[in-house]
Amino acid sequence: MNFIPIYKVGLVGNEKRYVEDCLESTWISSQGKYIELFEDAFAKFCGTKYAIAVSNGTVAIHLALVCLGVGKNDEVIIPDLTFVATANAVTYVQAKPIPVDCELNTWNIDPKRIEEKITTKTKAIIVVHLYGYPCNMGEISKIAKKYGIPIVEDAAEAHGAKYLETRVGSIGEVGCFSFYGNKVITTGEGGMIVTNNSVIAEKARFLKDHAMSKERRYFHPEIGFNYRMTNIQAAIGLAQLEKVEEILDKKRIVATKYFDLLKANTFIDYQHSERWATNIYWMVSILLNNNSRIKRDELAREMYEKNIDSRPFFVPIHELPAFEQENRKFPVAVRLSLNGINLPSYPSITDGEISYICQTISELCQK
Protein backbone atom coordinates (compact mmCIF):
# COMPACT_ATOMS: atom_id res chain seq x y z
CA MET A 1 0.00 0.00 0.00
CA ASN A 2 1.31 3.46 -0.92
CA PHE A 3 1.60 6.06 1.83
CA ILE A 4 -1.85 7.31 2.89
CA PRO A 5 -1.60 10.93 4.11
CA ILE A 6 -3.96 12.48 6.65
CA TYR A 7 -5.31 14.85 4.01
CA LYS A 8 -5.07 15.56 0.28
CA VAL A 9 -6.11 18.81 -1.32
CA GLY A 10 -8.54 18.30 -4.20
CA LEU A 11 -8.35 20.95 -6.94
CA VAL A 12 -10.70 19.35 -9.42
CA GLY A 13 -12.99 22.26 -10.32
CA ASN A 14 -12.47 25.76 -11.70
CA GLU A 15 -9.43 26.56 -9.53
CA LYS A 16 -6.94 26.65 -12.39
CA ARG A 17 -9.24 28.58 -14.71
CA TYR A 18 -9.99 31.25 -12.10
CA VAL A 19 -6.33 31.59 -11.07
CA GLU A 20 -5.32 31.97 -14.72
CA ASP A 21 -7.96 34.65 -15.01
CA CYS A 22 -6.29 36.51 -12.12
CA LEU A 23 -2.87 36.18 -13.75
CA GLU A 24 -4.07 37.29 -17.17
CA SER A 25 -5.94 40.25 -15.73
CA THR A 26 -2.94 41.04 -13.43
CA TRP A 27 -5.35 41.41 -10.47
CA ILE A 28 -3.25 39.26 -8.17
CA SER A 29 -3.27 41.36 -5.01
CA SER A 30 -6.15 42.02 -2.64
CA GLN A 31 -8.40 43.83 -5.08
CA GLY A 32 -10.28 42.08 -7.85
CA LYS A 33 -13.61 40.49 -8.57
CA TYR A 34 -13.01 37.14 -6.89
CA ILE A 35 -12.89 38.60 -3.37
CA GLU A 36 -16.46 39.81 -3.51
CA LEU A 37 -17.68 36.75 -5.43
CA PHE A 38 -16.15 34.46 -2.81
CA GLU A 39 -17.48 36.53 0.09
CA ASP A 40 -21.01 36.63 -1.31
CA ALA A 41 -21.03 32.92 -2.06
CA PHE A 42 -19.67 32.09 1.38
CA ALA A 43 -22.24 34.28 3.15
CA LYS A 44 -24.94 32.44 1.22
CA PHE A 45 -23.42 29.08 2.15
CA CYS A 46 -23.50 29.98 5.85
CA GLY A 47 -26.82 31.79 5.73
CA THR A 48 -25.41 35.08 6.99
CA LYS A 49 -25.82 38.62 5.71
CA TYR A 50 -22.10 39.38 5.63
CA ALA A 51 -18.83 37.59 4.98
CA ILE A 52 -15.42 39.26 5.13
CA ALA A 53 -12.42 37.47 3.65
CA VAL A 54 -9.18 37.61 5.66
CA SER A 55 -5.68 36.12 5.48
CA ASN A 56 -6.26 33.09 7.72
CA GLY A 57 -8.48 31.59 10.40
CA THR A 58 -6.41 32.84 13.31
CA VAL A 59 -6.69 36.49 12.33
CA ALA A 60 -10.42 35.96 11.74
CA ILE A 61 -10.75 35.14 15.45
CA HIS A 62 -8.46 38.01 16.42
CA LEU A 63 -10.47 40.47 14.36
CA ALA A 64 -13.77 39.11 15.73
CA LEU A 65 -12.57 39.78 19.28
CA VAL A 66 -11.35 43.29 18.38
CA CYS A 67 -14.73 44.05 16.76
CA LEU A 68 -16.52 42.89 19.91
CA GLY A 69 -14.40 45.27 21.97
CA VAL A 70 -12.59 42.56 23.94
CA GLY A 71 -9.38 43.96 25.37
CA LYS A 72 -6.91 44.27 28.21
CA ASN A 73 -7.78 42.36 31.43
CA ASP A 74 -10.90 40.84 29.92
CA GLU A 75 -11.57 37.13 30.00
CA VAL A 76 -12.71 34.92 27.14
CA ILE A 77 -14.10 31.44 27.67
CA ILE A 78 -12.75 28.74 25.32
CA PRO A 79 -12.86 24.94 25.26
CA ASP A 80 -9.81 23.27 26.80
CA LEU A 81 -9.53 20.93 23.82
CA THR A 82 -8.92 23.00 20.70
CA PHE A 83 -6.17 24.04 18.32
CA VAL A 84 -3.86 26.59 19.95
CA ALA A 85 -4.98 29.38 17.57
CA THR A 86 -8.22 29.78 19.52
CA ALA A 87 -6.30 30.60 22.71
CA ASN A 88 -3.58 32.60 20.95
CA ALA A 89 -6.12 34.95 19.36
CA VAL A 90 -7.42 35.81 22.83
CA THR A 91 -3.93 36.84 23.93
CA TYR A 92 -3.55 39.07 20.84
CA VAL A 93 -6.16 41.43 22.36
CA GLN A 94 -4.40 41.13 25.74
CA ALA A 95 -7.29 39.21 27.22
CA LYS A 96 -7.03 35.95 29.15
CA PRO A 97 -8.31 32.66 27.76
CA ILE A 98 -10.33 30.72 30.33
CA PRO A 99 -10.48 27.06 29.35
CA VAL A 100 -13.57 24.98 30.11
CA ASP A 101 -13.58 21.17 30.12
CA CYS A 102 -15.27 19.22 27.31
CA GLU A 103 -18.14 16.74 27.46
CA LEU A 104 -17.60 13.08 26.70
CA ASN A 105 -20.58 12.81 24.34
CA THR A 106 -19.66 15.52 21.84
CA TRP A 107 -16.00 16.24 22.73
CA ASN A 108 -16.95 19.92 22.59
CA ILE A 109 -17.07 22.56 25.33
CA ASP A 110 -19.34 21.33 28.14
CA PRO A 111 -22.30 23.72 28.44
CA LYS A 112 -22.77 22.64 32.07
CA ARG A 113 -19.27 23.85 32.96
CA ILE A 114 -19.43 27.29 31.35
CA GLU A 115 -21.39 29.18 34.00
CA GLU A 116 -18.94 28.41 36.81
CA LYS A 117 -16.18 30.15 34.78
CA ILE A 118 -18.14 33.32 34.05
CA THR A 119 -17.01 36.41 35.97
CA THR A 120 -17.60 40.15 35.60
CA LYS A 121 -14.53 40.15 33.31
CA THR A 122 -15.96 37.63 30.82
CA LYS A 123 -16.41 39.45 27.52
CA ALA A 124 -16.92 36.60 25.05
CA ILE A 125 -17.39 32.85 24.73
CA ILE A 126 -15.53 31.16 21.88
CA VAL A 127 -17.03 27.82 20.97
CA VAL A 128 -15.12 25.40 18.73
CA HIS A 129 -16.96 22.84 16.60
CA LEU A 130 -14.23 20.25 17.06
CA TYR A 131 -13.32 18.06 14.08
CA GLY A 132 -16.56 19.11 12.36
CA TYR A 133 -19.03 18.24 15.15
CA PRO A 134 -21.28 21.15 16.12
CA CYS A 135 -21.45 22.39 19.71
CA ASN A 136 -24.72 22.29 21.61
CA MET A 137 -25.58 25.83 20.53
CA GLY A 138 -29.04 25.75 22.13
CA GLU A 139 -27.64 25.32 25.64
CA ILE A 140 -24.68 27.65 25.08
CA SER A 141 -26.84 30.40 23.56
CA LYS A 142 -29.12 30.30 26.64
CA ILE A 143 -26.15 30.91 28.94
CA ALA A 144 -24.71 33.64 26.70
CA LYS A 145 -28.07 35.39 26.63
CA LYS A 146 -28.52 35.15 30.39
CA TYR A 147 -25.22 36.96 30.99
CA GLY A 148 -25.30 39.17 27.89
CA ILE A 149 -22.03 37.72 26.57
CA PRO A 150 -21.48 37.40 22.80
CA ILE A 151 -20.55 34.06 21.25
CA VAL A 152 -17.75 33.76 18.69
CA GLU A 153 -17.90 30.52 16.75
CA ASP A 154 -14.52 29.08 15.80
CA ALA A 155 -15.87 27.08 12.86
CA ALA A 156 -12.42 26.56 11.33
CA GLU A 157 -13.04 22.80 11.16
CA ALA A 158 -16.77 22.77 10.52
CA HIS A 159 -17.80 24.37 7.21
CA GLY A 160 -21.39 23.23 6.64
CA ALA A 161 -21.96 21.52 10.00
CA LYS A 162 -25.42 22.19 11.43
CA TYR A 163 -27.01 22.69 14.81
CA LEU A 164 -30.60 21.60 14.08
CA GLU A 165 -31.20 23.18 10.65
CA THR A 166 -28.76 26.07 11.02
CA ARG A 167 -25.24 26.09 9.68
CA VAL A 168 -22.52 26.83 12.21
CA GLY A 169 -20.86 30.22 12.00
CA SER A 170 -24.26 31.91 11.67
CA ILE A 171 -25.49 31.15 15.21
CA GLY A 172 -23.20 33.26 17.39
CA GLU A 173 -22.51 36.98 17.03
CA VAL A 174 -19.55 36.23 14.76
CA GLY A 175 -18.35 33.08 12.99
CA CYS A 176 -14.72 32.42 11.99
CA PHE A 177 -13.52 30.00 9.32
CA SER A 178 -10.13 28.78 8.09
CA PHE A 179 -9.19 27.78 4.56
CA TYR A 180 -5.84 26.23 5.41
CA GLY A 181 -4.74 23.38 3.13
CA ASN A 182 -6.30 20.54 5.12
CA LYS A 183 -9.58 22.26 5.96
CA VAL A 184 -12.92 21.35 4.34
CA ILE A 185 -12.31 23.85 1.56
CA THR A 186 -9.02 25.65 1.07
CA THR A 187 -7.50 28.79 -0.39
CA GLY A 188 -3.94 27.72 0.51
CA GLU A 189 -3.99 30.07 3.46
CA GLY A 190 -7.11 32.05 4.18
CA GLY A 191 -10.00 32.78 6.49
CA MET A 192 -13.46 34.31 6.70
CA ILE A 193 -15.53 36.21 9.21
CA VAL A 194 -19.31 35.82 8.92
CA THR A 195 -21.97 37.75 10.81
CA ASN A 196 -25.49 39.15 10.60
CA ASN A 197 -24.41 42.26 12.51
CA SER A 198 -23.82 45.18 10.12
CA VAL A 199 -21.76 47.13 12.67
CA ILE A 200 -19.37 44.23 13.21
CA ALA A 201 -19.15 43.55 9.46
CA GLU A 202 -18.29 47.16 8.70
CA LYS A 203 -15.75 47.32 11.51
CA ALA A 204 -14.05 44.09 10.39
CA ARG A 205 -13.79 45.41 6.83
CA PHE A 206 -12.31 48.66 8.06
CA LEU A 207 -9.81 47.09 10.45
CA LYS A 208 -8.58 44.40 8.08
CA ASP A 209 -7.44 47.09 5.62
CA HIS A 210 -5.30 49.30 7.89
CA ALA A 211 -8.33 51.11 9.37
CA MET A 212 -8.25 53.73 6.68
CA SER A 213 -10.92 56.41 6.75
CA LYS A 214 -13.40 56.24 3.89
CA GLU A 215 -13.61 60.04 3.78
CA ARG A 216 -9.94 60.89 3.97
CA ARG A 217 -7.29 58.75 2.33
CA TYR A 218 -4.33 57.90 4.59
CA PHE A 219 -6.18 59.07 7.64
CA HIS A 220 -6.37 56.20 10.12
CA PRO A 221 -8.59 56.96 13.13
CA GLU A 222 -7.33 53.85 14.94
CA ILE A 223 -4.77 51.07 14.68
CA GLY A 224 -5.73 48.61 11.97
CA PHE A 225 -4.20 45.50 10.45
CA ASN A 226 -3.30 44.11 7.08
CA TYR A 227 -5.44 40.99 7.23
CA ARG A 228 -6.49 41.03 3.55
CA MET A 229 -6.97 37.99 1.35
CA THR A 230 -5.61 38.07 -2.19
CA ASN A 231 -7.71 37.81 -5.34
CA ILE A 232 -5.83 34.60 -6.21
CA GLN A 233 -6.75 33.02 -2.89
CA ALA A 234 -10.37 34.08 -3.34
CA ALA A 235 -10.37 32.66 -6.88
CA ILE A 236 -9.31 29.28 -5.49
CA GLY A 237 -11.86 29.64 -2.69
CA LEU A 238 -14.71 30.35 -5.08
CA ALA A 239 -13.87 27.27 -7.15
CA GLN A 240 -13.66 25.19 -3.95
CA LEU A 241 -16.98 26.53 -2.72
CA GLU A 242 -18.66 25.53 -6.00
CA LYS A 243 -17.80 21.95 -5.01
CA VAL A 244 -18.47 22.14 -1.28
CA GLU A 245 -21.70 20.12 -1.22
CA GLU A 246 -19.95 17.38 -3.18
CA ILE A 247 -17.00 17.48 -0.78
CA LEU A 248 -19.34 17.27 2.23
CA ASP A 249 -21.25 14.35 0.68
CA LYS A 250 -18.00 12.50 0.04
CA LYS A 251 -16.75 13.15 3.56
CA ARG A 252 -19.96 11.76 5.03
CA ILE A 253 -19.65 8.65 2.88
CA VAL A 254 -16.01 8.23 3.93
CA ALA A 255 -16.95 8.48 7.62
CA THR A 256 -19.82 6.00 7.20
CA LYS A 257 -17.49 3.48 5.56
CA TYR A 258 -14.97 3.81 8.38
CA PHE A 259 -17.61 3.39 11.08
CA ASP A 260 -19.20 0.40 9.33
CA LEU A 261 -15.86 -1.38 9.20
CA LEU A 262 -14.83 -0.43 12.73
CA LYS A 263 -18.10 -0.72 14.61
CA ALA A 264 -17.70 -4.39 15.57
CA ASN A 265 -14.58 -3.51 17.57
CA THR A 266 -14.97 -3.00 21.31
CA PHE A 267 -11.78 -0.98 21.73
CA ILE A 268 -13.11 2.18 20.08
CA ASP A 269 -15.51 4.89 21.31
CA TYR A 270 -17.07 7.57 19.11
CA GLN A 271 -18.78 10.91 19.44
CA HIS A 272 -22.47 10.33 20.11
CA SER A 273 -24.84 11.33 17.32
CA GLU A 274 -26.99 13.90 19.09
CA ARG A 275 -30.32 14.45 17.35
CA TRP A 276 -29.55 18.16 16.80
CA ALA A 277 -26.08 17.60 15.33
CA THR A 278 -25.04 17.34 11.69
CA ASN A 279 -21.38 16.34 11.86
CA ILE A 280 -19.38 17.02 8.71
CA TYR A 281 -16.48 14.74 9.78
CA TRP A 282 -13.68 17.14 8.96
CA MET A 283 -11.55 14.42 10.46
CA VAL A 284 -12.79 10.91 11.09
CA SER A 285 -11.93 10.66 14.77
CA ILE A 286 -11.89 7.69 17.10
CA LEU A 287 -11.13 7.24 20.78
CA LEU A 288 -9.30 4.18 22.10
CA ASN A 289 -10.70 2.78 25.33
CA ASN A 290 -9.38 0.30 27.90
CA ASN A 291 -10.18 -2.64 25.64
CA SER A 292 -7.38 -1.67 23.28
CA ARG A 293 -4.22 -3.74 23.49
CA ILE A 294 -2.00 -0.77 22.70
CA LYS A 295 -2.03 2.91 23.53
CA ARG A 296 -2.73 5.71 21.09
CA ASP A 297 0.86 6.86 20.46
CA GLU A 298 1.98 3.29 19.86
CA LEU A 299 -0.94 2.78 17.48
CA ALA A 300 0.03 5.92 15.54
CA ARG A 301 3.66 4.73 15.32
CA GLU A 302 2.68 1.26 14.13
CA MET A 303 0.24 2.70 11.60
CA TYR A 304 2.96 4.96 10.25
CA GLU A 305 5.21 1.92 9.82
CA LYS A 306 2.44 0.50 7.68
CA ASN A 307 2.23 3.67 5.57
CA ILE A 308 -0.81 5.20 7.27
CA ASP A 309 -0.64 8.78 8.52
CA SER A 310 -2.76 9.94 11.45
CA ARG A 311 -2.95 12.81 13.94
CA PRO A 312 -3.25 12.65 17.71
CA PHE A 313 -5.94 14.86 19.26
CA PHE A 314 -4.83 18.33 20.35
CA VAL A 315 -2.94 18.84 23.61
CA PRO A 316 -5.35 20.55 26.04
CA ILE A 317 -4.78 24.30 26.27
CA HIS A 318 -4.23 24.10 30.06
CA GLU A 319 -1.15 21.92 29.48
CA LEU A 320 0.58 24.45 27.20
CA PRO A 321 3.24 26.54 28.96
CA ALA A 322 1.71 29.86 27.92
CA PHE A 323 -1.72 28.94 29.26
CA GLU A 324 -1.02 26.84 32.35
CA GLN A 325 -3.85 26.97 34.85
CA GLU A 326 -3.72 26.82 38.64
CA ASN A 327 -6.79 24.66 38.67
CA ARG A 328 -5.96 21.71 36.44
CA LYS A 329 -9.24 19.85 36.59
CA PHE A 330 -10.01 19.02 32.97
CA PRO A 331 -10.52 15.24 33.15
CA VAL A 332 -12.50 14.88 29.92
CA ALA A 333 -10.16 16.98 27.78
CA VAL A 334 -7.18 15.05 29.17
CA ARG A 335 -8.81 11.70 28.45
CA LEU A 336 -9.74 12.71 24.90
CA SER A 337 -6.33 14.18 24.26
CA LEU A 338 -4.52 11.00 25.35
CA ASN A 339 -6.74 8.50 23.55
CA GLY A 340 -8.07 10.27 20.46
CA ILE A 341 -6.71 9.79 16.96
CA ASN A 342 -7.72 11.30 13.62
CA LEU A 343 -7.65 9.08 10.55
CA PRO A 344 -6.99 9.96 6.88
CA SER A 345 -10.17 11.80 5.89
CA TYR A 346 -9.76 13.36 2.44
CA PRO A 347 -12.74 13.12 0.09
CA SER A 348 -10.83 11.18 -2.59
CA ILE A 349 -9.69 8.37 -0.27
CA THR A 350 -10.53 4.99 -1.84
CA ASP A 351 -12.58 2.12 -0.41
CA GLY A 352 -9.44 -0.02 -0.60
CA GLU A 353 -7.49 2.50 1.49
CA ILE A 354 -10.25 2.71 4.12
CA SER A 355 -10.44 -1.10 4.35
CA TYR A 356 -6.68 -1.33 4.72
CA ILE A 357 -6.66 1.30 7.47
CA CYS A 358 -9.52 -0.34 9.41
CA GLN A 359 -7.99 -3.78 9.10
CA THR A 360 -4.63 -2.46 10.29
CA ILE A 361 -6.21 -0.72 13.29
CA SER A 362 -8.19 -3.84 14.20
CA GLU A 363 -5.10 -6.04 14.07
CA LEU A 364 -3.06 -3.63 16.16
CA CYS A 365 -5.67 -2.95 18.86
CA GLN A 366 -7.27 -6.39 19.24
CA LYS A 367 -6.21 -8.15 22.42
Ligand X SMILES: *Cc1c(COP(=O)(O)O)cnc(C)c1O
Asked if 185 and 179 touch (Cβ cutoff 8 Å), the reply is yes
Of 211, 224, 182, the C-alpha closest to 345 is: 182
In the complex with ligand X, the residue whose CB is nearer, 64 or 200, is 64
Assign residue 193 a region (left: φ > 0; alpha: ψ between -120 and 50; beta: otherwise): beta
Asked if 241 and 185 touch (Cβ cutoff 8 Å), the reply is yes
User: Residue 277 forms beta bridges with which residues?
Assistant: 163
Shortest reach from residue 178's CB to ligand X, in Å? 3
In the complex with ligand X, the residue whose CB is nearer, 130 or 308, is 130
In the complex with ligand X, the residue whose CB is nearer, 157 or 173, is 157
In the complex with ligand X, the residue whose CB is nearer, 58 or 360, is 58
Shortest reach from residue 6's CB to ligand X, in Å? 13
Shortest reach from residue 220's CB to ligand X, in Å? 25
In the complex with ligand X, the residue whose CB is nearer, 340 or 364, is 340
Residues lying near ligand X in the complex (CB under 6 A) are found at 56-58, 82-83, 85-86, 128, 154, 156-157, 178, 180, 191
Strand, coil or helix: what is 339? helix
Assign residue 177 a region (left: φ > 0; alpha: ψ between -120 and 50; beta: otherwise): beta
Shortest reach from residue 345's CB to ligand X, in Å? 13
Number of residue whose CB is nearest ligand X: 57
Shortest reach from residue 285's CB to ligand X, in Å? 13
> How many CB atoms sit inside 10 A of residue 299's CB?
24
What CA–CA distance (Å, rounded) separates 40 from 34? 10
